Amino acid sequence: MRKTIIHHAYFFVFFTSLITAYAAISEKAYASNYEEQFPHVFKRHGPPVYKVALTFDDGPDLTYTPKILNILKREHVKATFFVLGVHAACHPEMIRRIIKEGHTIGNHTFDHINLIHSTRSKIKWEIAATEQVLVRISGQTPKWFRAPYGNVNPLVLTELQQLGYRAVNWSVDSNDWKSLPAKIVKQNILQQVKPGAIILQHCAGNEKEDLTGTVRALPDVIHTLKKRGYQFVTIPQLLNADTKTVHAKK
């Protein structure tokens, strides 16, 4: 009898891990098709031109965002900030500064929820509430969206399409939210960059996230990529880039 129970237990473990593995594979395969399924809505990278887009998520705050803006200003680099509605409402002056200095603002939901576990009405609310805050502060309606954790599904993408948004994930992950030292943040970015790259970094986080590495790495990242011949552009500039006229600097 005991042997049979153990046997059953083994079989159960084997079977459930098989199902989990299959679910993970099919989810990944399905997720990777979103660019084909929603070509006008969802992007992970730009066309293969010598341009890259720096993107900063989860802000604005008063700790890291101003430091990042100072560096971008000094280096004459324009970037894209995917902001949270709740943070925008707390720091409207930072939203106005980001826009005034020529950067693009995108919607990153109101309070950073995982949209793929949300109902249609909650998804709509997260997008619309953030949009309302941004319109109230800046008079501009954002057209760009990044889902928290990059998590989208057909329901999220359909809602975004109906609301007139384009969703942008990334092709280069700095992993900076893990409080990494500048050297590693820099390495993570520089090793992955290719023409048309969309680079994910953060300009704010929770109290456990130390983004000092992001700030310290930024000047070096910019200098190195400029030397490699890249231009820094915003998301709309990258995705609308003319692929015929842009070449690497020799």
8 Å CB contact between 169 and 53: no
Check binding of 61 to Zn ion (CB under 5 A). no
Rule CB under 5 A: say whether 85 interacts with Zn ion.
Answer: no
CA distances 164 to 56, 99, 130, 132, 232, Å, are 22, 20, 14, 14, 25
Question: Would residue 202 show up in a list of annotated catalytic residues for this protein?
Answer: yes
**Footprint of Zn ion on residues 133-152 (CB under 5 A)?**
148
User: Does 126 help bind Zn ion (rule: CB under 5 A)?
Assistant: no
**Is residue 7 flagged as an active site residue?**
no
Catalytic residue among 45, 87, 108, 202: 202
Residue closer to Zn ion, measured from CB, 195 or 213: 213
Question: According to CB under 5 A, which one of 57, 61, 126, 159 is a site residue for Zn ion?
Answer: 57
CB 46 within 8 A of CB 198: yes
Confirm or reject binding of residue 131 to Zn ion (CB under 5 A).
no
C-alpha 35/C-alpha 117 separation (Å) is 21
User: What is the signed CA dihedral for 136, 141, 147, 148, rounded to 10 degrees?
Assistant: -20
| Residue 109: CB minimum distance to Zn ion, A | 8
Per CB under 5 A, 58 contacts Zn ion: yes
Residues in contact with Zn ion, counted by CB under 5 A, come to a total of 3
Task: Give yes or no for residue 176 binding Zn ion (CB under 5 A).
Answer: no
Minimum distance from CB of 244 to Zn ion (Å)?
34
At 13, list the tokens.
Answer: 């473990």
Closest distance to Zn ion from the beta carbon of 134 (Å): 16
Q: Which residues of 173-211 are buried (b: 16+ CB within 10 A; e: fewer)?
A: bbebbeebebeebbebbbeebebbbbbbbbbbbeeeebb
Per CB under 5 A, residues contacting Zn ion are 57-58, 148
- Catalytic residues, by residue number, are 57, 202
